[in-house]
Amino acid sequence: MNLTGQRAWLRPFLATMGLGGLVALGVGDDGIWFPLVVLATAGFGFAVLFRVFPKGLDFALGAAIGFATYAALFAVIARTAFPEAPDALVGLAFLLPMASFLLAVLASEASLRRIVEEGETPDERHLRRIGRIILLLAIIATASLSFPFNRLAPLWQGIVMLGGAGLIGALAAGTVRELVRLMVDMAQLMDAISGRVVALVVPIAAYAALFSLITIVFACLFRIADGHSQIALFSGPAGPIRLNFRDALHFSIVTISTVGYGDIWPTDDGARLLAAVEVLAGQILLLFGFFEITRSRLSVGEGGKGEGGA
């Protein structure tokens, strides 16, 4: 095997573990135990899926996105519905559905490998099954949040959580074929998106450059106007404030993006007019970006037709 083949797993592994590590750090509200379980599960999942379906980066990203979504939803539901459940049971409840799915993948490796290698166009039957899976998962999640399980003793909270995780694990194992087809669909979508991103690099770079230019120019104008005024032109929650450049840059970014945090606002008519001009410039820039991206997509499509015709 050549060096490229030996390293075929490296980029998918880094992508999977990078996203898994980010999610693990993000959900680590109550110590290090749960993040370690999340990270270990991500590694175990990658090892199983890459062994069975060595489809490269797109497939790994699709699987990682699904895993990250599951981890985030689990963290929210677990700490809302079962806030006092023992950490060991929380980790076990997180692992149970993933282990059930991965073991089902290993048990059906041959048939599932054919799905990945040959590919199947999503049909109405497949979509209905995926819809039913999502509905059942939503029912389990809603029941967990609706019933007063948070009033139970900590041990019983953990036991009920394990029961719900067992139901999800059984569902995942029983519908492993549909879930793998969904992962293949996501991989195909990621491949299509990555192909389009290459064509959009130039307009995106141009948009980012113009966005930076407008933001910095107006930040300088705000700072100069406030610095040369006898009175403060801006206010904050504590009253009138004098802008330093960092504040002016922050206000400029908030203004052009129309976010409106409300931590700094103009109190002078001239500063308000200047802010309005920046908002207008931002809207024009947005139209420019949309136009360029659309034109780039059309150019790519026409190029593809030309090559096909040739």
187, part of any domain: no
- Which neighbouring-strand residues pair with 236? 239
How far from 272 is each of 12, 250, 275, 281, CA to CA, in Å?
49, 16, 5, 14
Closest CA to 11 of 194, 164, 159: 194
Six-digit token string for 192: 């299509």
Name the percent of the chain lying above pLDDT 90.
37
Stretch 27-34: mean pLDDT: 78
Q: Is residue 194 part of a domain?
A: no
User: What is the pLDDT at residue 307?
Assistant: 45
- Are 156 and 277 in a shared domain? no
126, 130, 136, 142 alpha-carbon torsion, rounded to 10°:
-160
| Residue 282 identity | G
Query: What distance in Å separates the CA atoms of residue 9 and residue 1, rounded to the nearest whole number?
Result: 13
Is 147 within a domain?
A: yes
Q: What is the pLDDT of residues 80-131, one digit of tens each?
A: 999 999 989 999 999 999 999 999 988 888 777 777 776 655 567 777 888 8
- Whether residues 162 and 212 share a domain: the answer is no
Taking residues 240-256, what's their average pLDDT? Answer: 94
- Asked whether residue 247 is domain-assigned, the answer is yes
- Residue 113 falls within a domain, yes or no? yes
Alpha-carbon span 248 to 220, nearest angstrom: 7
Is the CB of residue 229 less than 8 Å from the CB of residue 221? no
Q: Does residue 180 form part of some domain?
A: no
Classify 266 as helix, strand or coil. Answer: strand
Q: Same domain, yes or no, for 143 and 223? A: no
CA distances from 11 to 19, 49, 59, 194, 220 (A): 12, 14, 11, 15, 42
- Structural domain count of the chain: 2
Residues 101 and 246 grouped into a single domain: no
**Based on the domain organization, do 26 and 155 belong to the same domain?**
yes
Q: Based on the fold, state whether residues 223 and 163 are members of the same structural domain.
A: no
State which amino acid sits at residue 162.
Answer: L
* Domain co-membership, 105 together with 213: no
pTM of this structure? 0.71
Residue 198 binned pLDDT confidence (cut-offs 50, 70, 90): low
Tell me the residue range of the domain where 76 lies: 3-174
Q: Which helix (H) or strand (E) holds 190?
A: helix 176-227
Residue with tokens 């067992």: 166
The kind and range of the H/E element at 223 are helix 176-227
